[in-house]
Amino acid sequence: MSFTLYVGPQHPSLKEPEHFKFEVEGEEVVKADIRLGYVHRGIERAMQDRSYPQNVYLAEHICGICNIVHSATYCQTIERLAGIDPPDRARYIRTIILELERIHSHLLWLGVAAHEMGFDTLFMLSWRDREKIMDIREMISGSRIHSAMNTIGGVRRDLRQAHSLKITEVLDEIEKAAERYLEIFASDRAIIARCEGVGILSKKSAVDLCAVGPTARASGVKVDIRKEDPYAAYEETPFEIVVENGGDVLARTLIRIREIFESIEIIRRALDMLPKGPIRERFVPQVAKAEAVCRSEAPRGELLYFAMSNGTERPERVRIRTPTYANVLSWQEMFKGCTIAEIPVVMWSIDPCFGCEDRVTIVDLDKGKTYSLSRQEMRKWSASTS
């Protein structure tokens, strides 16, 4: 006899509002149903009221973790629509910041995955390494999260020699750290016990349900948009597509750690080959009637933007299909057969970002100690800054 278990929308595991309905028999989950729409903001409709350059920022604010890939894909789609090509230096700079974003997203994922398993030490260590990437992003673009670097026709800021040196230094440190994480995840018995054989998605299901990104690659589907439909400078910076065959949480974890190594290689090649020249091409705001589709490989999977213009300076239609949207059906499939205790681990394993949210997930840490600042102390440091 089955029993229905509701999880959410105030989540115990993800700090994002979604509603799950699990039908369980004893400890085993038989069916899962996911309810979306808690952070639906009507962005596709809002884009029809704003001009093309203003929409770059609306696209960027869809998600905090993967904001660069959203604005880059939007800019590429409008560049295709208007028939302009960004200069070479801009394409290489886009590749560098896109891969830096992939590294930061995977390190964030790694930390929260370790936290879900109860391994808080690894959570702290991986987020400490992630801070180095965030400092680089602040140095290059002016802000840790919303970089505002992409614009239609190219990028807004240039990469200086001093920046390249610092990036190379940090990449060496991240590479050593990632090697250590790979060792830990591949050999630690407790992690393997929690991840191996859990949340299995077979290759047939992954293909039928049109899964994308690391979720599909962990089930043996060898697809990566950076190789199939190259954009930015990915044709000139070769890399390997990382595939695993397990289809379980362990496979999805190992893929993300191994992708960090590939990203580091891509950034190193791009920095070596960075051409000189302008960083921006002129864009005339009125776009004649046309249609364009562009896809890119976000850290979570294939991101698709479709735009249609109507001769004015506002788009007729912009369609955004985010990778988590494509993976929801596979997600429901993965829960079948896992126990209730494994639910948080499986939930986080596809790296969900609902409709891509606009804030990074914040984790509260219970230090076991609380402290408070008196009003005088707060006034003192606040007065010293204004």
Partner 1 sequence: MASAIFDVIKNLFRKPATVKYPYVRVEPPDGFRGRPIIDKDKCIKCWLCISVCPNKAISVDRETEKPRIWLGRCIFCGECASSCPTRAITMSKQFELATFDKEKAVSR
Partner 2 sequence: MNIEGVGNLLRDFLDEFNVTGVRRTSALIKKENLRSALLALKRSNVDHLSAITGVDLGDEILIIYHIDCGGGELLNLKVKLPKGNLKLPTITDIFPGAILYERDLMEMLGVEVEGHPDPRHLFLPDDWPPDVYPMRKEFLEEKK
Contact residues for partner 1 (CB under 8 A)? 50, 53-58, 61, 119, 121-122, 125, 128, 131, 138-139, 141-143, 146, 148, 156-157, 180, 183-184, 187-188, 190-191, 381-382, 385-386
- Min. distance of Cβ 143 from partner 1 in angstroms? 5
- Say how many Å lie between the first and final Cα of the chain, rounded: 64
CA 240: distance to chain centroid? 19
Count helices and strands (H / E) in the chain: 14, 8
Q: Give the 3-state secondary structure percentages of the chain, helix then strand then coil, rounded to 5.
A: 50, 15, 40
In this structure, what are the phi and psi dihedrals at residue 228, rounded to the nearest 5 degrees? -75, -45
Residue 61 binds which entry of partner 2, partner 1, none, CB below 5-8 Å type-dependent? partner 1
Q: Report in angstroms how near the CB of residue 216 gets to partner 1 at its nearest.
A: 30
96 binds, among partner 2, partner 1, none (CB under 5 to 8 A by kind): none
Give the shortest CB-140-to-partner 1 separation in angstroms. Answer: 8
- Is residue 118 left, alpha or beta, with left meaning phi > 0 and alpha meaning psi from -120 to 50? left
Token pair recorded at residue 67: 């904001």
57 versus 306: smaller Cβ distance to partner 2: 306
Helices 161-187 + 249-272 axis angle, to 10: 160
Give bridge partners of residue 4 from the DSSP assignment: 23
Tell me phi and psi for residue 304, to 5 degrees: -120, 135
Q: Classify the phi-psi angles of 287: left when phi > 0, otherwise alpha if psi is within -120 to 50, otherwise beta.
A: beta
For residue 265, the partner it binds in partner 1, partner 2, none, with Cβ less than 5 to 8 A by kind, is none
Closest of 8, 39, 191 to residue 110, by C-alpha: 191
Is the separation of the CB atoms in 30 and 346 below 8 Å? no
* Residue (148 or 207) nearer to partner 1, CB: 148
Place of tokens 């149903």: 33
The distance of closest approach from Cβ of residue 200 to partner 2 in the complex, given in angstroms and rounded to an integer, is 18
In whole angstroms, how close is the CB of 205 to partner 2 at the nearest point?
Answer: 9
CB of 146 to partner 1, least distance (A): 7
SS3 198: coil
Question: Which of helix, strand or coil describes residue 219?
Answer: coil
Closer to partner 2 by Cβ: residue 111 or 301: 301
Select from 330, 352, 340, 327 the least CA-distant residue to 18: 352
Min dist. Cβ of residue 316 to partner 2 (A): 7
- DSSP-based three-state secondary structure for 367: coil
Residue 190: name its binding partner from partner 2, partner 1, none (Cβ under 5 to 8 Å by kind).
partner 1
From partner 1, partner 2, none, which one binds at residue 102 (CB under 5 to 8 Å depending on kind)?
none
* Residue 58 or 81 with smaller CB distance to partner 1: 58
Contacts with partner 2, residue ranges (CB under 8 A) = 36-37, 40, 42, 44-45, 48, 80, 207-211, 223, 225, 228-230, 291, 293, 295, 302, 304, 306, 308, 316-317, 319, 321, 325-326, 328-329, 355
**Pick 149 or 318: Cβ nearer partner 2:** 318
Phi, psi angles (nearest 5°) of residue 301? 150, -160
Question: Of the two residues 119 and 348, which places its CB atom closer to partner 1 in the complex?
Answer: 119
170 binds, among partner 2, partner 1, none (CB under 5 to 8 A by kind): none
**Beta carbon nearer to partner 1, 40 or 371:** 371
61 or 80: whose CB is closer to partner 1? 61
Q: Which does 210 bind (CB under 5 to 8 A by kind): partner 2, partner 1, none?
A: partner 2
